[in-house]
Chains A and B, each alone.
Chain A
Amino acid sequence: MIGVRQEFRLPDVGEGLTEAEIVGWQVAAGDTVTVNQVLVEIETAKAVVELPSPFAGTVGELLAEPGATVQVGTPIIAIETAGGPAPGDEADAGAKIGEAGKDGRIATLVGYGPRQGTARRRPRRGGGAAPRSPSAPPAPPAPPGEPAAARETTAPNGSAHPNGERVPLATPPVRKLAKDLGVDLRSLAGSGATGAITRDDVRAAASAPAEQAVPAGGTTAGAPAPGRGGSRREPIRSVRKATAAAMVSSAFTAPHVTEFLAVDVTATMALRDRLRGTRAYAEVKLTPLAFVAKAVCLAARRTPEVNASWDEAAGEIVYYDHVQLGIAAATPRGLIVPKIRDADTLDLAGLAGALGELTATARSGKTPPADLANGTFTITNVGVFGVDTGTPILNPGEAAILALGAIKPAPWVVDGELAVRTVCQLALSFDHRLVDGEQGSRFLADVGALLEDPGLALTW
């Protein structure tokens, strides 16, 4: 049998160490060694350790002097083994530590640090024409005259994606933000220090007005729009789709009339401040919306037409005994309108509590579908966005919807004198098929009167 020279390379005995000092050899050339016999003591940044022999045989040569600092991966001893490959070499394990195998890959055994000059990257297949990821959308064809390879070089801040698109640099929170806002990172150029896409980049892209990029009969559907500062396309999903269908159905079925009323709510706000200090309201968040909800319920009793429905198929108008009060809520998923059941049977504290619960549930996306159906009247609080008023579109099947505008100090005439009062605007849209101007106006005036003088409620 012919002896085989095996070299033992300095391993990383810690986690991520790159070098070690040879403290002392415990064997000399010519010595016979067995597997796991201690060969040498080395000192790393972490520890002094003994290295056991991975081979059985005769020490051929010591390749590092005591006191020398040796890079991890450098051969430190040669051992003549009895012949034949070392255990493991014959197996498919392939190359030994740090050596390039048949396939050109460096055998990267655990713990081996990078070694200068030997690390090679496997070449990519034919330029940019890499096989596509089966899950990825088809890449747009290269513009004529532009070599495929050139397209990769236009991606300075990211690595090439298998299908030729670049994968932009962005931290995970930024990727999450982009996903939430529906921004395609591949459409952005990063402004960060290393070309990475920042939060601001994503926010800027999200708030940029979407261009009407697709011409009529456009052929680019499904492909990203070319050029920078363009538009983005997003599939119409769930809540957006449902909202669109409902609004279109409502706007084109029910003839809408909208009336406006500016109201001095100073007294209501003062009442709110008083009630907040009382024990009954200690546990609930008493908002102006709660007062409006209460006023709507009281007023609806005097004008049942606003709490009704037009049943075209049956040729009937349905008047409801109770108010199923919908509250339009902006949620991360879009607009939803959960209902307060039999809202007219609740007192103010009950309404305030129900409002708090329902908005919290809606914001966390946990509103059960049953809570969204079968409303009879809706309030939309556009005031929380700081706007004065609007012309709300009816929730399909309902007869009226009330928009509550921003509540703010405003000049107001009191007893013939100008005063600063707390004022807000109400807008009521109603279905003119079953609510005439008379009923609509009365209802809106009633709501306004109750908010202007909550004491009126006693008289109804």
Chain B
Amino acid sequence: MSDPQAWIPGDPRSRPTRENILSGLRGTDSGGADLVQMLTPEGVRVRDERFEPYAADVDVAALKDLYRDMVLVRRADREGNALQRQGQLGIWVPLLGQEAAQIGAGRALAPQDMAFPSYREHGVAWCRGIDPTDLLGIFRGTDNGSWDPIETRSHLYTIVTGNQCLTATGYAMGQLFDSRVGGSPGDTGTNEATMCFFGDGATSQGDVHEGFVWAAAYDAPVVFYCQNNQWAISVPLEKQTRVPLYQRARGYGFPGIRVDGNDVLACLAVSRWALEECRSGNGPVLIEAFTYRMDSHTTSDDATRYRLADEVELWKLKDPIERVRVNLVREHGVEPEFFADVDAEADALAERLRAFCLAMPDPPPDRIFSEVYADPSPQVEAQKAEYLAYHASFEGGE
């Protein structure tokens, strides 16, 4: 007779004890048998038969580039966090711990693909050529996003949880209707895909469900890229689902893959495969990048109030950057100078970010009216004129 209190992973009636968590049985520390992994936490390159072809071209130079990407976005992320703590930003949404999941997916995107981020995808933004300084306006409250979604092929950040899944699905359906899918290989105009980024918390939202339903019904070329970081603010994954998230895809009628979200190589390979599927008309696909949010949900949150430090310590051993560094040193003999150079570059980026933030001007009063409609609207024009006149009515005003 088993102890009714015993922790049975996957059984909602049992709860993990402190000992279970310490010994790594909580279920959040391991992705299970289906997890796609190519680089172990110890930095050992392992083969994955199915996805190996999608990482075949990643030589040492490419791996170094991925390492550099991850270090730079982490550094920018930490600077953003510090700027919030110093009163320069209203809020910051940290990506700490999710660098591999974002860089792997971001580097798999082709220029003609379209990305729909949530609000944490600073790494994806980096891969789409959006400078980290462009992220600051949103978090300083001076802008709603300053990059051109058409030019960068990356939608603005979406704050409403999961909402971008609807937009992304609609966009992908448009790609299909416009015959931008399934063309002859190499023709970028007819080989497009959409990638939609969201977290485990978003999977409990109706928007994500609706996106899945529509994408499945229309075979929309969209990769649903769920970064399962185990925590929806303070709600753990086991309170949101009774099956692993990637298995949900089967219910909608498309494939779901769970990838080690802290393994940049596996994230890259699986994302490349999924995007290929979509570009050739076999979409949609769900990817669950199994990762961990190392920091709080945002700077307004205090994760120590609801999760144990032991769990965080466990995940530190699975750090996405460290395993690449170890692999580069052990299997490719990369010299320390490379890592020092990347660190110096990261510090320079952080300094540039800080200087930019401190010097950011307030937006002019008419900024709020610009880029609202493609064509001028008489109502908006009238409101703008009234608002500017109000501003001008103050002494010392513009």
Contacts and interface: CB of A to CB of B under 8 A. Distances in A.
A123 B397 CA distance: 10
Interface in B354-396: 354-355, 357-361, 381-382, 385-386, 389-390, 392-396
Contacts of B302: 46-49
Nearest to A43: B302
B145 interface: no
B304 interface: yes
Interface string B136-180: 000011100000000000000000000000000000000000000
Given A47-B296, A110-B88, A162 B389 contact: yes
B300 interface: yes
Interface string A96-125: 010000011100011110000000001111
Interface residues of A, number: 46
B91 interface: yes
Contacts of A136: 386, 389
A46 to B, nearest CB: 6
B397 A122 contact: yes
A51 B84 CA distance: 9
Contacts of A122: 394-397
Interface string A446-460: 000000000000000
B106 to A, nearest CB: 26
Interface in A30-79: 35-36, 46-54
A87 B90 contact: no
Contacts of A125: 393-395
A52 B389 CA distance: 41
Nearest to A51: B85
A130 B91 CA distance: 37
A12 interface: yes
Contacts of B142: 110
A81 to B, nearest CB: 14
A375 interface: no
Contacts of A110: 87-90, 140-142
A281 to B, nearest CB: 37
A109 B327 CA distance: 44
In this complex, the interface size class of chain B, counting residues with CB under 8 Å from chain A, is 35 or more
A12 B299 CA distance: 10
Contacts of B381: 135
A14 B304 CA distance: 15
Contacts of A112: 87
A176 interface: no
B385 A93 contact: no
Given A111-B90, A130-B393, A47 B385 contact: no
B13 interface: no
Given A54-B86, A109-B88, A87 B389 contact: no
Contact of B389 (A9, A13, A133): A133
Contacts of A109: 87-88
Contacts of B389: 130-134, 136, 162-163
A265 B296 CA distance: 75
Interface string B66-88: 00000000000011001011111
B239 interface: no
B395 A15 contact: no
A125 B391 CA distance: 11
A131 B393 contact: yes
Contact of A15 (B79, B87, B90): B90
B305 interface: yes
Contacts of B361: 92-93
A103 B299 CA distance: 32
A15 B300 contact: yes
A48 B395 contact: no
Nearest to B83: A54
B301 interface: yes
Given A14-B300, A15-B300, A110-B140, A50 B393 contact: no
B355 A88 contact: yes
A8 interface: yes
A397 interface: no
Contacts of A133: 385-386, 389-390
Nearest to A123: B395
A111 B396 contact: no
B138 to A, nearest CB: 11
Nearest to A133: B389
Contact of B87 (A86, A97, A105): A97
Name which of A15, A54, A110 has the most chain B CB atoms within 10 A of its CB.
A110
A314 interface: no
B393 A111 contact: no
A91 interface: yes
B74 to A, nearest CB: 14
Contact of A135 (B79, B90, B141, B385): B385
B386 A124 contact: no
A105 B296 CA distance: 35
Contacts of A9: 87
A440 interface: no
Interface string A120-155: 001111000011111110000000000000000000
A390 interface: no
A347 to B, nearest CB: 40
B87 A11 contact: yes
A91 B82 CA distance: 20
B85 A88 contact: no
B85 A11 contact: yes
Interface string B34-47: 00000000000000
A48 B307 CA distance: 14
B394 A135 contact: no
B390 A105 contact: no
Contact of A8 (B86, B91, B141, B382): B86
Given A110-B141, A134-B385, A162-B390, A13 B84 contact: yes
A12 B82 CA distance: 13
Nearest to B139: A110
Given A88-B355, A88-B358, A91-B358, A36 B87 contact: no
Given A104-B396, A110-B88, A134-B385, A35 B354 contact: yes
Interface string A194-215: 0000000000000000000000
A111 B359 contact: no
Name which of B85, B142, B392 has the most chain A CB atoms within 10 A of its CB.
B85
A223 B79 CA distance: 58
Contact of B359 (A11, A92, A132): A92
A103 B362 CA distance: 14
Contacts of A124: 393-395
Contacts of A130: 389, 393
Interface of B: 78-79, 82, 84-91, 140-142, 296, 299-302, 304-305, 354-355, 357-361, 381-382, 385-386, 389-390, 392-397
Q: Which 6 A-B pairs have the closest CB atoms?
A: A88-B358, A11-B87, A47-B302, A91-B359, A133-B389, A110-B90
6 contacts: A12-B87, A36-B82, A47-B302, A103-B396, A122-B397, A133-B390
Given A47-B300, A87-B358, 8 more contacts: A15-B300, A51-B85, A87-B354, A87-B355, A130-B389, A130-B393, A162-B386, A162-B390
Interface of A: 8-9, 11-15, 35-36, 46-54, 86-89, 91-93, 97, 103-105, 109-112, 122-125, 130-136, 162-163
